[in-house]
Amino acid sequence: MGSNADPYGDEQPVHTVTISQDFLLSKYPVTNAQYGKFMESIGNKIKKPEYWDDRRFNQPDQPVVGVSWHDAIEFLQVDWWSIADRS
């Protein structure tokens, strides 16, 4: 992990990382449409992701980008599968 070519120096040096705890990983990325339903369901509790209004990154079926770490944690606390499937 990391990069020796990192211009900012905060990813140096390249190093091995061991993941010692179980974790879950989704088969598919969370789309803008799914994340949008999540944001609607919780009101103003979180802010819009950084690129939410950028047409290059905000199409409904594209993966959501620019989500803060704290908002991603909030997303994981909600039963988003049921939210994403609502019409």
| pLDDT tens-digit readout, 41-54 | 888 888 999 999 99
At residue 84 the predicted structure's pLDDT band, cuts being 50, 70 and 90, is low
Q: What is the pLDDT of residue 3?
A: 83
Pick 53 or 80 by higher pLDDT.
53
On whether residue 56 sits in a domain, the answer given is: yes
* 71 found inside a domain: yes
Domain that holds residue 40: 32-85
pTM: 0.71
The verdict on residue 37 lying in a domain is: yes
Number of domains within the chain: 1
Query: What do you get for the CA distance between the two ends of the chain, in Å?
Result: 40
The answer as to whether 14 is a domain residue is no
3 part of a folded domain: no
Task: Give the contacts of 46 (CB within 8 A, at least 6 positions apart).
Answer: 39, 68, 70, 71, 74
Instruction: Assess if residue 59 is contained within a domain.
Output: yes
Question: Which is nearest to 29 in space by CA: 59, 65, 66?
Answer: 65
Chain-centroid distance, C-alpha 22: 19
